[in-house]
Amino acid sequence: MTKIGIRLVLLLAIGATIGCDRVTKHVAATRLSEGPSRSFLADTFRLEYAENTGGFLSLGADWPRPVRTTVFGAGNALLLVLFVVAMRRGWPTRALLGVALLVGGGVSNLLDRIIHGTVIDFMNMGIGPLRTGIFNVADIAITLGVGIVRLETSRSDGQGPTEGTVSNRHS
């Protein structure tokens, strides 16, 4: 695939991730925020509205607002910029989809923090008392992206850009 084709696919993946997350959060806010949680598949999957002021599993939710804003707003934005820079520096092409998912999910959660001051979460899975935290589509994309990046970068030899990488250093 050409560099332009790869870039188009990555932009589409980022846009689709952001779009899916924004739409599902809107539906959660309008349909779940005022009502009880909804249970499916013998309570294996639940839909329940939550607003998370912290990070992963509400880490830092009790921190003072300026600290939360710095860590989860500015820190997140800086991390996203670093991922985009790293992506342009020649990561294995197979890892770039993971970076795109990570960036799309991170941008959508950052938009929540900027617009609402919290992140809207609404999904929960588990069996009996063993349950996940409440999460959203962006969190799924971020987790999947980390897994793809980890898998694909561990396959490279660590010698820098190799065959099958995308690099913009000379373009």
Residue 171 is assigned to a structural domain of this protein: no
Counting every residue, how long is the chain? 171
Q: Looking at residue 158, what DSSP letter applies?
A: S
| pLDDT at residue 16 tops 90 | yes
In a domain, residue 162? The reply is no
As given in the structure block, the two tokens for residue 80 are 């996203």
For residue 43, the one-letter residue type is D
Decide if 66 is inside a domain: yes
Task: Please indicate, yes or no, if residue 126 is contained in any of the structural domains.
Answer: yes
DSSP-assigned beta bridge partners for residue 130: 127
C-alpha to C-alpha distance for 143 and 121, rounded to whole angstroms: 15
pTM, full prediction: 0.83
Residue 113 lies in a domain: yes
At 145, the amino acid letter reads G
38-40, strands of its sheet edge to edge: 38-40, 45-52, 119-127, 130-131
Q: What pLDDT sits at residue 93?
A: 80
Q: What angle is formed at CA 55 by the lines to CA 140 and CA 124, rounded to 5 degrees?
A: 45
Indicate whether 22 pLDDT > 50. Answer: yes
Residue ranges with strand state E in the chain: 38-40, 45-52, 119-127, 130-131
Q: What is the dihedral of CA 5, 7, 12, 18, to 10 degrees?
A: 170
Which residue segment(s) compose the domain that 14 sits in?
Answer: 3-155
Number of domains composing the chain: 1
Q: Does position 4 have pLDDT exceeding 80, yes or no?
A: yes
Residue 134 lies in a domain: yes
**pLDDT given for residue 73 in this prediction:** 84
Residues tagged active-site:
121, 139
| Helix 137-155 with 93-116: angle, nearest 10 deg | 150
Q: What percent of the chain has pLDDT over 70?
A: 89
Q: Which pLDDT band, with edges at 50, 70 and 90, does 159 fall under?
A: very low
User: In this structure, is residue 114 part of a structural domain?
Assistant: yes
| pLDDT tens digits for range 49-108 | 999 988 877 788 889 888 888 888 888 888 888 877 877 777 778 888 999 999 999 999
- Residue 163 forms part of a structural domain: no
